[in-house]
Structures are given as structure tokens and as C-alpha cells.
Structure 1
């Protein structure tokens, strides 16, 4: 009975040790991340293998002299993986959400082999950045609209003032009246037995506006 409990405890301890030995990496989409091999320098006869996913797909290997980069079937790692020639660390550039997952490094030489696992999570761009960008666009559009309204208002005011001045000039213009000098013409008629009054002709008055 005691032996069974000891075995169970040992299995739980190994399981927990494996969980705590894994390294969690959380990065933002578009950033670069480096998965350290834990080596300061690759020694002779050492080989480093990097795998991706639960199936352990080989994506890179190096011995300090020759570096080889592989890609998966869907091409998600194309031009995104680099290897540090000195330490064998794996560098993922311009990371995307599709690159999230489990990465494992295996370091082996003639007499030993060690492994280390990385759980990489990729966070998308913050939701606030999109809304903030949209708000900025709306604000700029509103400012432009207000500017156009102000310009239009000043234009209308200028036109109205000019039109009003023209109307006032027409209304306040004094009516010009020209009076013709009255001229009297007398016609002499022959005297007859009956005294006739002299005939008087008046010139008309001309009005000019």
C-alpha cells in the first residue's frame, strides 16, 4: 500500500516538474520573439533540433556550423525563422496568431540529450487601438466638416452684406427731378374790335429718376 502511494506521488511530481519546466512566452502579434536554447555557446559534437506542435514537426536544426530552416506544409513559417549561430536559439520574426503553439528544443551530443519546451501564445492587436483609430478618423472628419461650414457661413455673410449695401444704395438714392424753366411766349394778334387776351403757352415739367 505504501509502495503504491509512493509511485503515485512520484508520477505526480514528475508531471508537475514537466509543467513547471516548460516556459511560457506571450507576445503581441507583429513582434519578434526569441526562444533561448539555454546554451551560451554550441560545443563540438552538439546538435540542436527545434520542433513545433504536439506532433513534433522539425522546423530548424544547427550544429553551430550549418543551419537548416524547415517549413511546415502550410508555409506559415516562411521567412520568419532564424537561428542564432552561437547559441542555437530560435528567433521568430513578425509573429502571427498562427504561430502560437508548443515549441521544443532538443540538445544532444554523444553522451546526453536534454529537452526544453516553450508554450507560445500570441495576442492580437488591442481592441482599443482599432476604436481609437476610428475615433481619430471621425474627429478629423468632423473638424473638416465644421471648417467647411464656417467658410460657407462667412461666404454667405459677405454676400448678404454686399447685397444689402446695393439695396440701400438704390433706396437712399434721391429722386432727381429736373424742372424746365417756364418760358412764356406771347403771340401778337391783330387788334380787332373785340379785345383778345394774349395767348400764353407753358412748357411742361420733365421728371428724371
Structure 2
């Protein structure tokens, strides 16, 4: 009776096939186990696994053989595929390129036993928060920031205030850089955070307002104060060399005319000395 019930269930699977595609997600580098959903296999059973309709593995119970086609699918699975005795497929050290559709097929009835849609996500970088002085603040008491990530795909970048979502941006393209602005008041508490996430994991960076929030106007003021000082130094150096040249020329002219050398009491020397200081 047990065998009869088993065969009856098997027959239904063979006639109707798979009624849904199972979604599986992992992070790059992890292993994934795709089950055949079989607890018992008949002795004359033969099963195959396909990736995007390309055969990658086969189990033959009658011959007691398991064959993995490591050279299939452009060699992307080389030495990373295994089959267990139930026909389940194990993929180790997953890569982004492993994403796709996996189908296990009963070769006797040529019908799918299971279909998986596998998505392999890249490791997420930690968001970087920087002060944004290029943004014109609407208030002298506020400060602008940028939260940025680089070389990401299929992610969402968000600003949170506590547990409340303030803003977000999503992108599905490959290897793109994202930045999201935020403006806060100087006196606010450090309850802001920037979060990057995909469907299976996330990374968070907390905003330290005390450390990062300097007014851009202060920075500009320092630059304006420093600029005249730098110009004064440059002007003084220029005047020094001009005076030095004139002094040398006057000394040579005086020597030629009278044969006497210019003493330090010469008015020209004092004039240049005053300019030099």
C-alpha cells in the first residue's frame, strides 16, 4: 500500500508537473542546496538538472552514477557542483553569474519535478557619509550631508531618522554609484542613519552630527581670511626682489660715476628696507 501511494503521487507529479517556481536568494560566496523534493528514488530512475535550459548534472540510480557537467554553461560551474543521493543539487562558492533558473527533470516522464529561480547578490559595501558644502543650505543653522556607495547593483539606499524612513533611492543596474543627500539642524541628536540593503541583507552607517557638521560658511570664511594673507606674502616677496634689483643697479651706477661704494646709510637702502618689512 505504501508503494502504491508513492507511485500514485509520483504519477500526479509526472502528469501535472511543477505548479510554481521557487525563489531562492543567497549572498555571493555562500553555498546553496536546491532540493529535488524526493525522499525516495526508484531503481530505474534518472534525473537531470538544467541551468537556463543547459544540462549541468545527471543522476542515474540504476547505474549508480552521478555525472556533473563542469564544462557546461561556459565552464562557470567548474568544480562547484555536487549531487546527493536524492538528486538534490548543491552549488558551492556561489557567484553573481550563477543567478538564473534551475530545473530538475524526471527523465522517464520528461517533466519538471522542481523549478528554482536563484538570485545571487553581491556583498554590500558600508555606506560613507560626508559633509556636502556644494549644497546651498536654506538656513544658517543647518548642515548638508551626502551618503554614498560605489559599485553596487539591485540595492536601495535610504536615510532614516530613528526608525522612520526619510528618503530612499533604488537602482537595479550593474556597478553603479549612488548618493543621497540629507539636511539636518546643527543641534539635533545623532539619531540619523544611512542604510543600504538588498532583499537579503543590509549595511548601516550612523551619522555623527557633532563630528561632521561644521558650517560651510565657516569653511568659506577661513578661506577668505587666508586668501588676503597669502596675497600679501606674495606681494611682499615680489617687492623684495624688485627693491633688491634696483638697489644693485643704483650701486653699480654710483660706483661707475664716482668710484665710491654705496654705504648702508644710503637713502635707497633704507627705502627698500622699509618696503621689504
Give the TM-score normalised by structure 1.
0.48
Task: Return the structure number with greater helix share.
Answer: 1
Task: Return the structure number with greater strand share.
Answer: 2
Q: Which has the higher contact order (CA 8 A, sep 6+)?
A: 1
Q: Which has the larger radius of gyration?
A: 1
